[in-house]
Amino acid sequence: MGMGSDAPTVSLDLLARAENLTLVRGMLGGVGELLTMDPELLDDVKTAVSEACNNVVLHAYQGEPGPLSVNLYAHGDELSVSVCDEGEGLVYAGPSDDRIAGIGMPVIQALASETEFRPRAEGGTEVWMSFAGRRDGRQLFSDPEVPVPGDGWTDGLSGDALVSLSPVALLGGVLGRLTRALAASARFSLDRFSDVYLVTDAVAALAQRAAAGARIGFCLEGGARRIEMLVGPFRSGTGELLSGEDPVVGSRSPLALLTDQLLTEPQREGGERLRLAMSDARP
């Protein structure tokens, strides 16, 4: 069984590094929060997906960083996750397969209701896992709007994390968790770390008002006491919303007050994208 042609609710692309597993768990935590996911289900999903991603880190690229993709599908009463790499590829033959013992497949199989472990036609391996969304007749997460297909907006971008999600209402939780994880790695001060909450909430609110469609994407890049963010696509004229007073809070937007760089850039295919940066200027 697989996802068929359904579009993912959230897709996350990053490099397979041990430290990036924090970003994977952050994405899952953000989705779980916004879908009011049952805590036991969320723990199972986080554990199983972390095992699959750790397998990629350890085995797919012989210890070197390489592409890692995590796609989450939340439809009806089923939650599915696909973890893909472009590495050498492994075929799991079951619990008796001693060649790749210890990669976490028994854990994944114990936590997921269905699993598949298969080579990809274009190279690499896919681990697909499905989790029951109902228990004792009770729905374990709120069913989001049906996601629209990916538009390729993040294609060609590079960074620590590339995310595409639909519906747009999911942006706040996912963007907030991932940005805060990078802020922690960038050693932001406590005060500046608090600003990250305000900025990501403001970006999410802007997206609710001005996203160009029902799917939105973002790219994050972290460095030494600095985070850069690219978000889009937005409708043309979005930049004008940032130049005046925010009607919700009655003052200038936190995006204008708390960022070190704030630009809206026209896109070749129409619309705009938002580019911003935050840094911590401690001595």
Nearest to 220 by CA among 272, 179, 189, 188: 179
Q: How many domains does the chain have?
A: 2
pLDDT at 4: 40
Domain stop point among 95, 115, 139: 139
**Residue 130 located in a structural domain:** yes
**Residue 210 located in a structural domain:** yes
**Residue 216 located in a structural domain:** yes
Q: Are residues 16 and 89 in the same domain?
A: yes
Q: Are residues 135 and 183 in the same domain?
A: no
Angle, alpha carbons 270-196-19 (nearest 5°)? 95
Q: Are residues 186 and 117 in the same domain?
A: no
Contact 226/159 with Cβ under 8 angstroms? no
pLDDT at 39: 96
Q: Which residues in the chain land under pLDDT 70?
A: 1-5, 89-103, 243-251, 283
Q: Are residues 24 and 135 in the same domain?
A: yes
Q: Note the pLDDT tens digit of each residue in 123-157.
A: 899 999 999 999 888 999 998 889 999 888 888 89
Q: Is the peptide bond before 167 cis (omega within 30 degrees of 0)?
A: yes
- CATH number (domain holding residue 135): 3.30.565.10
Q: Are residues 95 and 185 in the same domain?
A: no
CA atoms of 219 and 230, how far apart (whole Å) = 5
Paired tokens of 16: 């397979």
Q: Are residues 23 and 122 in the same domain?
A: yes
pLDDT at 244: 58
Q: Are residues 116 and 236 in the same domain?
A: no
pLDDT at 100: 45
**Residue 133 located in a structural domain:** yes
Paired tokens of 149: 């297909």
- Kindly report the pTM of this predicted structure: 0.90
**Domain interval for residue 60:** 10-139
CA atoms of 104 and 101, how far apart (whole Å) = 8
Q: Are residues 191 and 272 in the same domain?
A: yes
Q: Are residues 218 and 113 in the same domain?
A: no
**Residue 153 located in a structural domain:** no
Paired tokens of 68: 């890692």
Paired tokens of 134: 């109902």
**Residue 155 located in a structural domain:** no
pLDDT at 94: 54
Q: Note the pLDDT tens digit of each residue in 183-227.
A: 999 999 999 999 999 999 999 999 999 999 999 999 999 998 999
3-state SS track over the chain: CCCCCCCCCEEEEEECCHHHHHHHHHHHHHHHHHCCCCHHHHHHHHHHHHHHHHHHHHHHCCCCCCEEEEEEEEECCEEEEEEEECCCCCCCCCCCCHHHCCCCHHHHHHHCCEEEEEECCCCCEEEEEEEECEECCEECCCCCCCCCCCCCCCCCCCCCEEEEECCHHHHHHHHHHHHHHHHHHCCCCHHHHHHHHHHHHHHHHHHHHHECCCCEEEEEEEECCEEEEEEEEECCCHHHHCCCEECCCCEECHHHHHCCEEEEEECCCCCEEEEEEEECCCC
Q: Are residues 19 and 67 in the same domain?
A: yes
Phi, psi of 139 (to 5 degrees): -70, 130
